Each structure stands twice: as C-alpha cells, then as structure tokens.
Structure 1
Amino acid sequence: AVGGYFTFALIGIAFQQYVHFAVQSINESIREEQWNGTMETILSTATDFKIFLLGEVCFSFVVSSILLLMSLLVGLMLGARFYVTPTSILTAIILTILLIASHMDIGILSTGVIMKVKQGSPVTWAFSWMSQLVSGVFYPLKLLPWYLEWVGKAFPLTYSLDGIRLCLQSGKDLTSPVIITNIVSLIVFTIVATPIALYVFKVGYDAARRDGSLGQY
C-alpha cells in the first residue's frame, strides 16, 4: 500500500467526517423543518414520507460529497499519495455509494427519534462515537482487542474504509475477493437496516402526529 499512515488516516478521517456530516445535516434539517412547522405542512399533504426523507437525505449527501473531495484534495497537496487505476476508482465509487446507502438508514432512524424527543438524537452521537472507535478510522482493526474488533464488524464504515483504502492505496478493484466481501457486507447491512430505519421513522412520525407535536420543537 502506498501513502503510509498519513494517507491511511486521511481516508479514514475524510470518509468518517463525510458520513457524520451528512447524517448530522439530515438531523438538523428535520429539526429545522419541525421548528418552522413546514414538515407538518408537507407531510399532511399527499407527499409520501419516504419521498420527503429521500429529498432531505440526497441534499445532505451532495453537500457532504463536495466537502469530501475538498478534503482529499487538501490531503494530496499536503503529501498524501494514492495508487489508483480506472477500475479501482470505479470500485471506490461503488463502495462510496454503498457507504451512503448504509448511513442513510442511520440518518433516517435518528430522525424518527428526533421527531418524538424534540432534541438532538442520541442515536447519531452514539453511532458516530462508536464508529470512530471501532471502525478503523485512525488505526487498523487488528490493533484493537479481539472483542472490539468483533464490534467493529457490525459497523458499515468498517467495510467501507477497508475497501476504499484497498482501492486508493493498493489499486484493488472488483477482481479482488476482499473487495467483493466488503461490498456484500455493505449490501446485507443496507437490506437489513432499511426497513428497520423506515419503521422507526414511521413510529416517531405517527407518535408526534397523534400527540399534536409534529410542528413543535
């Protein structure tokens, strides 16, 4: 792998902050909509709550993607080195899309909590903190105690960072078995987490609507 620890850490920090900022932006956007009363207006129309969520999520990740590219560019200027090929870049993009999909679920789930508790979601804080600790953001997972290493395998960021680092530091692509393993793990997480996240959001939304607090914060 090229680039050494600096590139390793740059990728970890850039992509962890990428998803954290995106999820946090979703939460803040929902809180603002709730505070202003616009969410109640939107969701009381024929607009499906899934469409409403998709719009909030897409905007947050577009802004975050711009910041991510800027972070990698600054890192390159400061001495980060990447070893890439056209196929490894394409694979890294696929992994990033799966990273987005998996963390969309975290953002949606936390908004369901926000709707009910009317404050910053503890889900986002806890998930972000644990991701930094056990997902290999700053150091390889093999340096962790075995039990934390197993905890790290439950977080989608772990598989995303591992795959993206292999793509950007070693030129790996879809022909690599470890890349395929990471992709399959992310797909499985997303398939399992999506209905759970939508259910939690719907429960929070229905509860807030029943007690008349949908437009309150």
Structure 2
Amino acid sequence: MAAAFTEQHLLPVTKTVGQLVLTIEKELAGSLLGLNYSDSGVTHIYNPVDYARVPHEIFVTKFCKETISTLLIGMNPGPWGMVQTGVPFGEVSIVRDWLNIIGEVIKPANEHPKRPILGFQCHRSEISGKRFWAFLRDLSGTPERLFETLFMYNYCPLSFMKISGKNVTPPELKVGLLMHPSPINPRANKNWAEEAKKTFDQLGISGYFSNLHDVTDA
C-alpha cells in the first residue's frame, strides 16, 4: 500500500530567528574554543551556551523575534551573570523573577575553584546586570513589551579567566592587528607590504602562506 503524503510533508522546515541564532552561536563558540589564549594569561574558559544551555535557549527562543528593531550588544559573559544563568547580564534574581526563566545549569568541564558555577543557586549579584535590567524593567514594565522590538546579546559567548580568577574581557585579549593599507593612513604609504610581513611573522602565521616570501622595497 502506497504511503499517503500531505502538503505538509513537502514543505521545507524553516527555523525561527531565535533558532538560527542558537545554531550560529554554537558554531562560533566552537571556533573560539579552538584558539590559544595563553599569551593573554587565560587559564580557564567557560562556555555558558553549553553548560547553561537550558535557560540560555529559553531566553533566545522566547525573546529573539523577527520584530526586533533595536539590538543592544554587550561584550561577553560576566562571572555572576551570564556565566551563572546563560542570559546576557543575567543577574539571578532578574532572570528568575522578572524574565521568568529558570533551568538546569551543569558544571563546566574545567571549573575554576574561585569561580564555581552555582546556576540559580548563586547568591552573588551581578551589579552591572542588576542595574541594566532594572533600567529596562522600569522603562518597559514587562519583558513581553520590552522584547517586542528589542533584544540583548553578547558578541562573544565565552568567559575568560586567569589563574587568579580575574575576569578577562575581549579587549584585554592579545589580538594582532594588520595596519590598514589605505593611502589615507600616512604609515601605509611607507613600506606597507614590509610592515604587513613583520606583523604576520609576529603573529606566527607567515608559514601558512607557502608563496609568501620576504618583502623588500621596489
């Protein structure tokens, strides 16, 4: 007997904006975890997108909508905010009592002894998160009204720490910069290619380009 198919079976499966964001950030977090941060003194990296997946996904799928016209961008998870709850600037009481989000948070693989993950049992307050969300709460009244046109997100999903437990923000990470070749930049008009080669050497990436040889002035 032939199987019966309806039009529903032929329709492509489309993801919501929130689901697309979750897919992208998972790939991004995986790529970032593969980098070496030892030059910046980083000894521990937390990925709340993974170990706080349940409350994080609730936040994104619930509030990241197609109607968004305003996006507020933070840097990366704070030790007593998103690191604990999976929500950007996610001070525990705000996430639990105002956003009405709660969920299982497990331990990360390499937990720093001075930065334990307690999830919604954490009694430390993320002061910046408390101020931030209280401001938005007073403006909007309800999460539903706030997130009708607004969303809050961090451009980096990972939290970085030194052996002391000190939080390391993305601007503190050692990142190589290649001088812009534009003629508007006076330095670029003097041996730019040679300077670019020096930068590649310092970053240890010259060897990746088999056809890149020493550059000399014409």
Between structure 1 and structure 2, the one with the greater Rg is 2
TM-score normalised by L of structure 1: 0.31
Tell me which of the two structures has the higher relative contact order, counting C-alpha pairs closer than 8 angstroms and 6 or more residues apart: 1
Q: Which has the higher strand share?
A: 2
What TM-score, normalized to structure 2? 0.31
